[in-house]
Amino acid sequence: MAIIKDIEKLLRGFLWCQGEFKNGKAKVKWDDVCMPKDENGLGIKSLKYWNIALMASHLWRLMTSKQSLWVHWIHEYRLANYNLWDVKVKPDASWSWQKLLNIRNMVRKFFIFNIGDGKCASAWFDNWNPVGLLADFIPIHVICVAGYGLNEKVRDFFNDDGPNWPNDWYNNFPSLHLINMPQFSNSPNQLGWKSDDQIIHGCSIAIVWYSIRPSGPIVPWFDVVWFSNCIPKHAFVMWLLMGRY
C-alpha cells in the first residue's frame, strides 16, 4: 500500500505541479480524478482498485482449480481441507498470502456458482442460491451441532424430496424458505462473476476492476469535452470548468 501511495504521489505531482507534488496544489480530489471520463474523472485507473482486481484474478484461479503449479501448491499446503472463504489469516503466513486473503470480503459477493452436479460447490461458504452464503446467517456452531461438517457440498443437502436439513432450521432461519432445489445435472458446476446484475462466465481483470471500483453518475457534457479531435490542454481546462461548477 505504501508503494501505491508513493506512485500516486508522483502522478499527482506530474498532473498538478509538473514535478514534485506540493500540498494545496491539487484542484480535484485524486479519487475523483480516477473516475472514468464519462463519470467526471480523467480516466486514470486507481492503483488501489487495479491491484485488488489483479489479486482477485488469483482467487478466481483458485476457485476454478486452474491447472498450474501455484494453484496446486496452494490447494495442497495452504488450503488443505479448508474452504478458500473460511481459511483463517495466520500471522506467520507470507505477506502475499495475507494480502490475498484480506480482499475476500470485498470480492466474495461477485463469485456465483451455477449448480450442475453440485459436487464441488460448498454448501456453507459459496454463493449458489438467492439468499447468499448460508454461513452468513447460520452460525458455525449450529452447523456442527446438527452433525454436519464444514466441507459439505451442495449435493449433500438435497434428495429427491428436497433439502434434508433439520426442520427447526426453517423456524430459526426463515431465509431457507427462499431456497429452491437446484436443477442438478451431470455437468460440473460453473463459476461465474456477477457484474451489473448479470452473471458472466469468465473473469478478466477489467471486469473485476469495473465491478469493485467506486462509480458515479454519468455527466451530460462528457462528449462535449472529450471527443476524438479535442486538444488535450483545452479539454483539461474545460473538464475543470464543467466538472467543478
pLDDT of residue 158: 83
In a domain, 138, yes or no: yes
In a domain, 30, yes or no: no
Q: What's the pLDDT tens digit per position in 198-209?
A: 887 778 899 999
In a domain, 132, yes or no: yes
Long-range interactions of 36-39: CB distance < 8 A, separation 24+: 37/222, 37/225, 37/226, 38/218, 38/219, 38/222, 39/215, 39/216, 39/217, 39/218, 39/219
Range of the domain at 120: 116-188
Cell of 151: 466441507
Residue from 128, 102, 84, 118 nearest 1 by CA? 102
Whether the model clears a pTM of 0.75, i.e. scores above it, the answer is yes
In a domain, 39, yes or no: no
How would DSSP label each residue in the chain?
-HHHHHHHHHHHIIIIISSS--TT--SS-HHHHTS-GGGTS--PPPHHHHHHHHHHHHHHHHHTT-SSHHHHHIIIIIITTS-TTT----TTS-HHHHHHHHTHHHHGGGEEEE-SS-SSSBTTTSB-STT--GGGTS-HHHHHHTT--TT-BGGGGEETTEE-S-THHHHH-GGGGGPPPP---SSPPEEEEEETTEEESS--HHHHHHHHS---PPPTTHHHHS-TT--HHHHHHHHHHHHH-
Pairwise CA distance, residues 140 & 150, whole Å: 8
In a domain, 110, yes or no: no
Q: What's the pLDDT tens digit per position in 203-232?
A: 889 999 999 999 989 999 999 999 999 899
Q: What's the pLDDT tens digit per position in 112-143?
A: 988 888 888 888 999 998 888 899 999 999 99
Residue 180 vs residue 104, higher pLDDT: 104
pLDDT of residue 130: 86
In a domain, 171, yes or no: yes
The total number of structural domains that make up the chain: 1
In a domain, 239, yes or no: no
In a domain, 64, yes or no: no
Cβ atoms within 10 Å of 189's Cβ, excluding its own? 22
Residue from 116, 142, 121 nearest 133 by CA? 121
Q: What is the mean pLDDT of residues 139-155?
A: 89
